[in-house]
Chain A
Amino acid sequence: MEVETAQEDLKPAPGQLASSPFINKIVAPGDIVLDLAQLSIPTLRLGGGLRQDQDLVIATKAGRLKYIKPNKIWVEGSQKRYIPSLEDVVIGFVVDRRSESFTVDIGGPVHGSLSIFLFEGATRRNIPNLQAGSVLYMRVVKAHRDMTPELSCVDATGKASGFGHLKNGYVFQCSTGLARALLSRPTCPVLEALGKSLSFEIAVGLNGRVWVNAASVSTIILVSNAIMNAEFLSAAQQQLMVQKLLQRVQES
Chain B
Amino acid sequence: MTSSLQNFVVAALKEDQRIDGRRPFDSRRLNMKFLREDGSAEVQLGQTLVMCCVSCQLVQPFPDRPNEGSLSVFTEFSPMADSSFEPGRQGENAVELGRVIDRGLRESRAVDTESLCVLAGKAVWSLRIDISILDNGGNLIDAASIAALAALLSFRRPECSAGGEEGQEVIIHPPEIREPLPLILHHLPVAVTFAFFGDGDLVVVDPSYKEELVMKGRLTVTMNVHGDICSVQKGGGVGVSSGEIMRCLRIAATKVADVTSSLKKAAEAHETERAFRKVKRINVAATTEGRRVDISETVKAEFKLRSAILDKSIKSELNDDEDSSSEDSSDDDDDSESKEDNVMAPIRAVKEEDPQSVLPTDAVFQGGVSQWPTGTKPYTISGTMKTNPTGNSVIKVSSSCQEEKPTAILDTAKKNKKRKKKNKKKVNRPISSM
Enumerate chain A interface residues (CB-CB to B < 8 A): 93, 105, 131-135, 168-172, 217-218, 220-222, 224-225
Asked whether, in the complex, the Cβ of A217 is within 8 Å of the Cβ of B4, the reply is no
| A207 CB to nearest chain B CB (Å) | 13
Q: Are B15 and A218 in contact (CB under 8 A)?
A: yes
Question: Does any Cβ of A come within 8 Å of B297's Cβ?
Answer: no
Choose among B3, B15, B19 the residue that contacts A170 (Cβ–Cβ < 8 A): B19
A170 to B12, CA, bound (A): 11
Q: B residues within 8 Å of A by Cβ? A: 1-5, 7-8, 11-12, 15, 17-21
* 10 shortest interchain CB distances as A-B pairs: A133-B3, A93-B1, A217-B12, A170-B8, A225-B21, A217-B15, A135-B4, A217-B17, A221-B21, A217-B11
Which of A105, A132, A220 meets B8, CB within 8 Å? A220
- A171–B5 touching, CB < 8 Å: yes
- For A135, the chain B residues whose CB sits under 8 A away are 4
Among A171, A217, A222, the one with the most B-chain Cβ atoms within 10 Å of its Cβ is: A217
In contact, A131 and B3 (Cβ under 8 angstroms): yes
Q: Closest A-chain residue to B1, C-beta based?
A: A93
A133 and B19 contact, CB distance less than 8 A: no
Q: Which residues of A contact B18 (CB under 8 A)?
A: 221
A and B contact pairs by CB, cutoff 8 A, 10 listed: A135-B4, A168-B4, A168-B8, A170-B4, A170-B5, A170-B19, A172-B19, A217-B12, A217-B17, A225-B20
Q: Which of A93, A171, A222 is within 8 Å of B21, CB to CB? A: A222
In the bound complex, residues from chain A placing their C-beta under 8 Å from that of B2 are 133
Chain B residues in 8 Å Cβ range of A169: 4, 8
Complex contact B19–A168 (CB within 8 A) = no
Least CB distance, B20 to chain A, in whole angstroms: 7
How far apart sit A225 and B8, CA to CA, in the bound complex (Å)?
15
Q: Chain A's nearest CB lies how many Å from the CB of B272? A: 33
Distance in angstroms from B138 CB to nearest chain A CB is: 14
* Closest residue of B by beta carbon distance from A213: B8
Inter-chain CA distance A20–B13, complex, in Å, is 54
Min Cβ gap B31→A in Å is 18
Residues of B with C-beta under 8 A to A105: 1
Which residues of chain A have C-beta atoms less than 8 A from B11's C-beta?
A: 217
Residues of A within 8 A of B8 (CB): 168-170, 217, 220
Contact A168 B20 (CB under 8 A): no
Q: CA of A58 to CA of B246 in the docked complex: distance in angstroms?
A: 63
A134 to B4, CA, bound (A): 7
- Cα distance A169–B15 when bound, in Å? 15
- Write the chain B residue with the least CB distance to A245: B21
A221 and B12 alpha carbons, distance in the complex (Å): 9
A131 to B4, CA, bound (A): 11
Chain B residues with CB below 8 A from A224, complex form: 19
B136 to chain A: closest CB distance in Å?
14
User: Could you say which residues of chain A place their CB within 8 Å of the CB of B19?
Assistant: 170, 172, 221, 224
- The closest CB in chain A to the CB of B13 belongs to A217
List chain B residues, Cβ under 8 A from A170: 4-5, 8, 19
Q: Which residues of A contact B17 (CB under 8 A)?
A: 217-218, 221
Bound form: Cα–Cα A24–B15 in Å: 47
Residues of chain A within 8 A of B3, CB atoms compared: 131-133
Max chain A Cβ within 10 angstroms of own Cβ: one of B11, B17, B19, B21 = B21
B21 cross-chain contacts in A, Cβ below 8 A:
221-222, 225
Q: In the assembly, what is the distance between CA of A172 and CA of B47, in Å?
A: 15
**Residue from A132, A135, A170, A172 with most neighbouring chain B CB atoms (10 Å):** A170
- Once bound together, how far apart are the Cα atoms of A222 and B19, in whole Å? 9
Return the chain B residue nearest A95 by Cβ. Answer: B1
Most B-side CB within 10 Å, residue of A134, A220, A221 = A221
Please give the distance in Å from A31's CB to the nearest CB on chain B.
27
- Minimum CB–CB distance from A224 to chain B (whole Å) comes to 7
> Closest residue of chain B to A249, judged by CB?
B21
Q: Is the CB of B20 within 8 A of A171?
A: no
Q: Return A116 CB to nearest CB of chain B, in Å.
A: 20
